[in-house]
Amino acid sequence: DAKTTQPPSMDCAEGRAANLPCNHSTISGNEYVYWYRQIHSQGPQYIIHGLKNNETNEMASLIITEDRKSSTLILPHATLRDTAVYYCIVRDLTGNQFYFGTGTSLTVIP
Amino acid sequence: DAGVTQSPTHLIKTRGQHVTLRCSPISGHKSVSWYQQVLGQGPQFIFQYYEKEERGRGNFPDRFSARQFPNYSSELNVNALLLGDSALYLCASSLGFLTDTQYFGPGTRLTVL
C-alpha cells in the first residue's frame, strides 16, 4: 500500500522553483523516500532518493524533515519540460517493491 | 548506454486471448520488476524477479505469471485477457534486490477489446 500523501496538482511559473510536498507519517527508520516523475504515457523517470539527510543531484534537491514524516522535492528552475506527474514513494525494505500513489500533477506555466 | 527496453510498444488483443510482454534490463542489472498502470492511476506492482527467482508478488490473479531468463531478461504472461487488463505495462530493472534504485522502461500499451 502507498504510504504517502501528495497534493493532486500544482502549478509553477517557468524559471521559478517548484516545491512538491509529500507526507509519509508512518515511515520506518530504515525506509527510503524515492521520487520519480512520469511524463504522459512514458515510463517513470528516477529523480532522487534519500534516507535522512538532504540530497541534491543534477535534477533536483530532496529535503527530508528531521522526524522524517515529510519531505519536499525542489526543482530549482522549472522549465516547461518539467510538466509531469511526480510520485513520492516510500520503499518497502522487505522487498524492493515500489508502491506508487496517484502523485502530484505539476504544470509549469510559461 | 541502453536503458530498459520493452517489446512490443503497443498491442491489441481480444477478450480471452493470451499475451506475452518482454523486457530487457539495463546491462549488469539482475533484478526485473513488472508494474501495471491503468489510466489515471499510479503504477501497481505485479512481480519482482532476482537471479531468475520470484522475490515478490503483488495482488494480481493467477492469470498473471512471469519468468526471468539466464540473461536476466523477463517475460510477463497474461492469460484469459479481460477488458480490465487494458493498461500500460511497465518493466523496471535494478542492480540488486533490496536496496537498489529501479529504472523503468517505456512500457507496453495493451488494449483488450
A66: distance to nearest CA of chain B, Å? 22
DSSP code per residue over B12-64: EE-TT--EEEEEEPPTT--EEEEEEE-TTS--EEEEEEETTEEEEE-S--TTE
Residue B103 CA to residue B91 CA, distance in Å, equals 8
Over residues A35-61, the pLDDT tens digits come to 999 998 899 999 999 998 899 999 999
Cell of A76: 530549482
Taking an 8 Å Cβ-Cβ cutoff, which residues of chain B contact chain A? 4, 31, 33, 35, 40-45, 48, 55-56, 58, 88, 90, 92, 94, 96-107, 109
For B39-63, letters b (16+ CB in 10 Å) and e give: eeebbbbbbbbbeeeebbebebeee
Going by C-alpha positions, the residue among B61, B83, B65 that lies closest to residue B17 is B83
Task: Reduce the DSSP state of residue A15 to 3 states and report it.
Answer: coil
Q: What is the CA angle A65-A45-A84, rounded to 5?
A: 80
* Least Cα separation, residue B69 to chain A (angstroms): 19
Residue-wise pLDDT for A1-39, tens only, equals: 558 999 999 999 999 999 999 999 988 888 889 999 999
Res B16 pLDDT > 70: yes
Closest CA–CA distance from residue A109 to any residue of chain B (Å): 22
Q: Is A94 exposed, middle or buried (0-12, 13-18, 19+ CB in 10 A)?
A: exposed
Residue with cell 539527510: A53
Residues of A in contact with B98 (CB under 8 A): 93, 95-96
| Partners of residue B111 in chain A, C-beta under 8 Å | none
pLDDT at B1: 61
Query: Using an 8 Å Cβ cutoff, are B37 and B44 in contact?
Result: yes
**Site of grid cell 493532486:** A8
Q: What percent of chain B is helix, strand and coil (3-state, nearest 5)?
A: 5, 50, 45
